[in-house]
Chain A
Amino acid sequence: MLISIFRALILYIVITFSIKFMGKRQISELQTSELVVALLISDIASIPMQNISQPLFSGLVPIVVLVCCEIFVSSFMMKSTKFRKLICGSAIIIIKEGKIQQGELRKLRMSIEDLYAQLREMDVFSIKDVAFAIIETNGKMSILKKSEKQPPDAATLCVKVPEAILDMVVINNSQINESSLSFCNLDKTWLAQTLKKENIDQNEIFIMTVNKNKEFNIIKKSN
């Protein structure tokens, strides 16, 4: 059983590193090749983890080979559009200028119910509101609503809006995040001064956010 612990730990580290190495993506955004590798890795890793008579290398070697293949394939896909199209396919337009492309739906084996369900998930409750709907290579649907159905934005309304500023977490559970501080062009001295001015100790802070305008928000730890 002790061996299983070591094996599980080694495989956990290898898989975590492998997935990180392949690139940070959500499962729903996986391309075909990535999905295949993710499924295979999880399956391959479980065998030597459970069966201690199987050498660990019999699991590690295929994992490394699969991850390397995935990197090579994705690198080659960046260089060759034809290869990318071969592996990932291409985006398919299923609603074009408000008209459902029935042939494309048949090719995708997608029923009208599936189409409506996906539209509803995107807060579209009438097909008449959609100008274009595209099934992306990762299987997700993107839509472009008809101009009259799109909510007006500041530019359309000719309204001047303040510039969007990103709030960064500089203290998380009493721990200072230096990269967030430097992102806001601030340093630890400013932080110490601010905390002193606010008469609060760093250890009392649950979360502190700051933006580039030096506007901050502090949430204290609860008892």
Chain B
Amino acid sequence: MKKTHIAILFFLITIMVCVTNFYLIKNATQTAENYLEEIINLKDQSEFSKATQKCIELNKIWDKKIKILSIFIHHESLDRITQSLKVVNASLENESSLETSKSSISAITYLKALRESEKISLENIF
């Protein structure tokens, strides 16, 4: 096998890894965001127990996804999201509407920022 062919193969593998990473992040952040929106809606309807259940579910899903995501993403930004999801859970357990809203919005912001940071755009490249 010629050296150029090996280089092409490695290059393609790298691109594949990066594309997989992009879709993994997109999928994980989108799922978490949908869950959080649902939690906000449930909280607005004062259904705190259902919202708490959803949040526990979300935390479990996130804990699974974080294992793969941490291979590609800066661990600090993942820790920040994990922490904010835990805050959402705690505020729901305390049935604090204002705290839940605040923490959910900040978690959504972090998730959006993470997804945006992986997008191929001029502002990200430069």
Contacts and interface: CB of A to CB of B under 8 A. Distances in A.
A195 interface: no
Main secondary structure of the interface of B (DSSP, over half): helix
A64 B74 contact: no
Given A61-B18, A75-B4, A53 B11 contact: no
A183 to B, nearest CB: 25
A98 to B, nearest CB: 43
Contact of A64 (B11, B21, B71): B11
Q: Which of A64, A68, A72, A75 has the most CB of B within 10 A?
A: A68
B14 A61 contact: yes
Nearest to B9: A68
B11 A58 contact: no
Main secondary structure of the interface of A (DSSP, over half): helix
Contacts of A56: 71
Contacts of B6: 21, 71
Given A53-B76, A54-B74, A55-B75, A71 B7 contact: yes
A113 to B, nearest CB: 42
Nearest to A54: B74
Interface string B1-33: 001101110110110011001000000000000
Interface residues of B, number: 19
Nearest to B77: A53
A68 B7 contact: yes
A7 to B, nearest CB: 13
Interface string A47-73: 000001111111001001101100110
B109 interface: no
Interface string B48-65: 000000000000000000
B11 A68 contact: yes
Nearest to B3: A71
16 contacts: A21-B3, A21-B7, A53-B76, A54-B75, A55-B71, A55-B74, A57-B72, A58-B74, A61-B17, A64-B10, A64-B13, A67-B10, A68-B7, A68-B10, A68-B14, A72-B4
Given A53-B74, A61-B18, A72-B4, 8 more contacts: A21-B6, A52-B75, A55-B70, A55-B71, A55-B72, A57-B17, A64-B11, A64-B14
The 8 A-B pairs of least Cβ separation, nearest first, read: A71-B7, A53-B75, A68-B11, A68-B7, A75-B4, A64-B14, A53-B76, A57-B72
